[in-house]
Amino acid sequence: MTPLADMSLLASFALIFVSAAFTDNILLARFLGMCSCLGVSKKVDTSLGLGAAVIFVTACTSALNYLVYQYLLLPLGLDYLRLITFIVVIAAFTQLVEMIIERVSEKLYNSLGIFLPLITVNCAILGISLFMLNKPYSFLQAFAFGLGGGFGWFLAITLIGAIRERINEAALPRGLEGPGITLIIIGIMALGFIGFSGMIKI
């Protein structure tokens, strides 16, 4: 397999996107963003809304955090401040987006806006920024990683939402209702996604 650095830009972009979305799915393989996933995935509509917001925010914040880390923290030797910097960048970015959306489009605000505060505490976003540092990505590749990670989360939560809508009426043991059965669904989906692993290795 050719190393990432030798590939054409487009090829490495596509490869990172697919691997972040499928083989290394942030929810099913890395366990991130579970809390909001369990809370919001009761319906497909809300899953779609939150998923879309997450794609947007992860893609932008991973790019932003990449720049901040490479050009501000590393040269100044402030590597250890990365956690606090990243979370502040993410919180400030979501706040900003919320304000912009509120001004620009009321319709968009009503469908996406309510999810934005939830996103600050969604560990998938911070997680993607942190995992990104483990690999020697360029700026565009980091963006692809964020985009792919967000898309993977979107895909997982939408599928879970669809399944949960179906089993809404099913008779379950009392103790298994809610989080219990959802975790089992996610477990089975994770089994399915293992099938993707081995497809790509970076």
Which residues contact other proteins by CB under 8 A?
28-35, 38, 80-84, 86-88, 91, 120-123, 126-127, 130-131, 134, 173-181, 183-184, 186-188, 190-191, 194
Tokens 């669809």 correspond to 162
Q: How far is the CB of 39 from other proteins (least distance, A)?
A: 8
d(CA 158, CA 139): 29
Q: How far is the CB of 113 from other proteins (least distance, A)?
A: 17
Give the rounded distance of the alpha carbon of 96 from its chain centre.
19
- 141 or 182, CB closer to other proteins? 182
- 144 or 189, CB closer to other proteins? 189
Q: How far is the CB of 8 from other proteins (least distance, A)?
A: 29
Q: How far is the CB of 193 from other proteins (least distance, A)?
A: 8
- 48 or 91, CB closer to other proteins? 91
- 33 or 113, CB closer to other proteins? 33
Give the rounded distance of the alpha carbon of 72 from its chain centre.
24
- 139 or 180, CB closer to other proteins? 180
Q: How far is the CB of 105 from other proteins (least distance, A)?
A: 25
